Each structure stands twice: as C-alpha cells, then as structure tokens.
C-alpha cells in the first residue's frame, strides 16, 4: 500500500477509536438512574444539535485551549435551602480541575457564593491542589487553584463581572451543575421551586466571557443548569416545569444561556468525570485521572466541610442520591474505557479493518 494511503487509513482508524471512546463515555454518563426517560430525550436533543459525542466534543475543546500556566474558569455550586451546597457539581469540578492541572499545568479558577467556598476548597485540597485566595498567589504556589467569591447583589455583581473577566482572563469557561437563569433571570430547582434569593448571578461573568470569544462548556442533568440553552426547547417540552415553573415569575426552569459544548448527562458530576477521562485519553496519559482513593477523599472531605446530598438533604457522601460505591465503580469503568483500547494487540488491526470497510462504503 502506498505510504499516503496507509497514513489515510491510520487516520480513519484513529477517528473510529476516538469516536468509540467518546460514545462509550457518553453512554456511561447517561445511565438513566432516575428511570424516567427524560434524560435520554434531552441527551438525544443535544446529540442531534452537536452531531458528535458530547463528552468527546467537550474534551477536544479543552485540549485545544488548555495550556501550562493558563487559567481555566470553572463555575459550580448549587445551593440548597439554608445555603448548603450540593455535592453534585463540587465533586466533579474537583476531579476535572485536578485532571487539567496534572495533565498540563493549567490553573483552575473558581468563582462562587461565599457559602460554597469552604466545601469546594476542601474538595480541591482532597484532590491534591493547593487552594489560593488570590490570583497573584498562583505564581508562587505549586499545583495552585484559586477560589474567589462572587456577590449576590446585582449592582455589585455587574462591577465584579468586568473586574474578574479582566483579571482571570481564562482560555475556557466551564459550568458544572451551576444554576442557570431562565428567560426572566430567575433560578429554580428542577421541579420548579424558585431559589433566586440564594443564587449569585455568576451567569453575568459566564456571558461576559462568552461575548469576548472565550469557549464555553456547560454540564447539566435536567436543563435548569447554566449552559443548557442549546436544548432550551427540549427542556421546556420534556420536563415537568421546564416551560412553567409555577412560581409566578412567568418563565420555567429551563436555562436560556447556551454553551459552545453542551454535555447533558444523568448526573452532572458524571459528565465531569467523563470529560476528565476523555481529556486524559486525548493526552495519552490515563494517570492524570484521579484514583479511587483520592476520589473517596474528595467526596468525604467535601461533605465534612459543609456540602450535602441534594435529593436526600443528608450530610452523606452521596452524589444526587447515589452512594460512593456506585460513583467509585463508575469512575473506574470510565478509566478502563480510555485505557483498555490500547492494551490488546488485535485492537489496531480491527480498527484498520473497519477503516478499510468505511473507505469502500464511501
């Protein structure tokens, strides 16, 4: 076979491999744990719009923009009543932040409500990162991450938005289980409860950066999260309170703010784990994904520092009502999904066979 044709065949085989890894991670992150069928409808709406694996698309966006010493802004923290943040969002953000820092020396920066800072910082420390209260500290502190407060007052938030956008200057912005405003600027739980009084309008910073051309990723599990705007119509149509929350604001729970890469999954944290695993795959270094022992420490330390499980309200190491046993197992299966394809000598030949077949079908 001429060299050029062989290279083309190898490229086709690589596309097959990348696609399979991405789709496997999509499937793992979209196990319908609630058993209501809504997640699958929302996933397919996003998949149809995106035209490729949701997880792989997000991981490739990160691979294209994350670099040593550059900042990645991650927005997370969904406050439950009485200002207790959910574990969902915080855990996945810590896993992804650690992966990005380990893989290429990126500097994860977080902006959130003051009540989120303690449990989020505990999650990041458990992941091995050193938490700094100021951006300037990152030049002196190894394996640094930064957690900054954001005001609830609208006028103060507007001022903070411009200042933080200039100071952070991120290469990419990621929202993971972060409350997203509806068309009326209100924030809700999935079933319609209005929680706007507890939520700081961090959307302002997200939208400001998006307007400046900073790539965005949105990770959610019900459509009321920041970055789910591309599937707004599906959320309105397919979820109980998507179009009409019933709180009197005149809108629904559906977030109207889109992302460049939309990742809708069964549990938002699962989407973050899957993106981290896929990023490790693209870097050809699965070791940058945190291990089970570190993951358990992240989960337990986050709860000790004040986070609670959202569905049950208990201060237990659960994520969206799912216990540590299941979450650890899922993370390990995701790790296997990115490690295993390179382990068996026969696999490359099988992919080359598929590439030849695809070439004939073209």
Asked if the model's pLDDT at residue 349 lies above 60, the reply is yes
pLDDT band at 325 (very low <50, low <70, confident <90, very high): very high
Residue written as tokens 């009485």? 82
Least confident of 44-58, 94-108, 315-329, 330-344: 330-344
Q: Which of 9-23, 208-222, 224-238, 271-285 has the lowest mean pLDDT?
A: 9-23
125-153 residue pLDDT tens:
999 999 999 998 898 999 999 999 999 99
Give yes or no for a contact between 112 and 202, defined as CB atoms under 8 angstroms apart: yes
pLDDT band at residue 352 under the 50/70/90 scheme: confident
Q: What is the C-alpha separation between 250 and 82, in angstroms, rounded?
A: 25
Predicted local confidence at residue 303, as pLDDT: 98
Indicate whether 246 pLDDT > 90: yes
Q: Express each pLDDT in 104-123 by its tens digit.
A: 999 999 999 999 999 999 99
Which residue has better confidence, 352 or 223?
A: 223
| Average pLDDT score over residue span 163-191 | 98
Q: Phi, psi (5° rounding) for residue 74?
A: -120, 125
pLDDT at 98 over 70: yes
- Domain ranges in the chain are 3-361
pLDDT at 1: 44
Higher-pLDDT residue of 356 and 316 is 316
What integer pLDDT is reported at residue 6 of this predicted model? 55
Q: What is the mean pLDDT of the chain?
A: 94
Q: What is the reported pLDDT for 190?
A: 95
pLDDT at 345 over 80: no
| pLDDT for the residue 292 | 97
| pLDDT at residue 4 in the model | 53
For 277-304, the pLDDT digits (tens) are 999 999 999 999 999 999 999 999 999 9
3-state SS string for the chain: CCHHHHHHHHHHHHHHHHHHHHHHHHHHHCCCCCCCCHHHHHHHHHHHHHCCCHHHHHHHHHHHHCCCCCEEEEEECCEEHHHEEEHHHHHHHHHHHHHHHHHHCCEEEEEECHHHHHHHHHHHHHCCCEEECCHHHHHCCCCEEEEEECCCCHHHHHHHHHHHHHHHCCCEEEEECCECCCCCCCCECCCCCECHHHCCCCHHHHHHHHHCCCCEEEEECCCCECEEHHHHHHHHHHCCCCCCCCCCCCCCCCCCCECCEEEECCCHHHHHHHHHHHHHHHCCCHHHCCCHHHHHHHHHHHHHCCCECCCCCCCCCCECCECHHHHHHHHHHHHHHHHHHHCCCHHHHHHHHHHHHHHHHC
Q: Does residue 47 surpass a pLDDT of 90? A: yes
pLDDT of residue 117: 98
Q: Which CATH superfamily is domain 3-361 in?
A: TON_0340 (3.90.1640.20)
Q: Mean pLDDT, to the nearest integer, of 182-186?
A: 97
């Amino acid at each position: 076979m001429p060299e050029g044709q062989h290279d083309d065949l190898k490229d086709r085989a690589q596309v097959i491999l990348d696609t399979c890894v991405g789709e496997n991670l999509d499937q793992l992150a979209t196990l319908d744990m609630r058993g209501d069928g809504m997640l699958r409808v929302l996933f397919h709406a996003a998949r149809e719009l995106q035209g490729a694996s949701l997880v792989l698309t997000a991981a490739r966006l990160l691979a294209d923009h994350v670099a040593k010493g550059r900042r990645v802004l991650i927005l997370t923290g969904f406050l439950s009543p009485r200002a207790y943040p959910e574990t969902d969002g915080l855990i996945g953000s810590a896993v992804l932040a650690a992966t990005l820092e380990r893989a290429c020396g990126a500097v994860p920066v977080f902006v959130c409500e003051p009540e989120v800072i303690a449990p989020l910082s505990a999650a990041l420390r458990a992941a091995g990162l050193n938490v700094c209260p100021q951006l300037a500290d990152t030049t002196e502190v190894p394996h640094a991450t930064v957690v900054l407060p954001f005001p609830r007052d609208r006028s103060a938030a507007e001022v903070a938005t411009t200042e933080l956008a200039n100071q952070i200057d991120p290469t990419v912005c990621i929202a993971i289980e972060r409350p997203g405003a509806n068309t009326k600027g209100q924030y809700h739980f999935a079933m319609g409860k209005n929680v706007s009084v507890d939520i700081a309008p961090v959307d302002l910073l997200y939208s400001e950066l998006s307007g400046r051309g900073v790539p965005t990723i949105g990770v959610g599990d019900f459509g009321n999260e920041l970055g789910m705007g591309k599937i707004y119509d599906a959320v309105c149509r397919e979820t109980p309170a998507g179009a009409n929350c019933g709180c009197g604001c005149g809108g629904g729970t559906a977030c109207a703010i889109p992302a460049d890469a939309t990742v809708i999954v069964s549990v938002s944290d699962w989407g973050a784990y899957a993106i981290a695993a896929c990023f490790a795959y693209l870097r050809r270094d699965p070791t940058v994904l945190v291990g089970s022992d570190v993951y358990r420490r992240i989960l337990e330390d986050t709860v000790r520092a004040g986070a609670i499980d959202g569905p049950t309200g208990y201060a237990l190491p659960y994520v969206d009502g799912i216990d540590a046993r299941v979450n650890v197992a899922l993370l390990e299966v995701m790790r296997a999904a990115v490690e295993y394809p390179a382990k068996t000598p026969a696999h490359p030949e099988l992919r080359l066979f598929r590439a030849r077949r695809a070439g004939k079908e073209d």
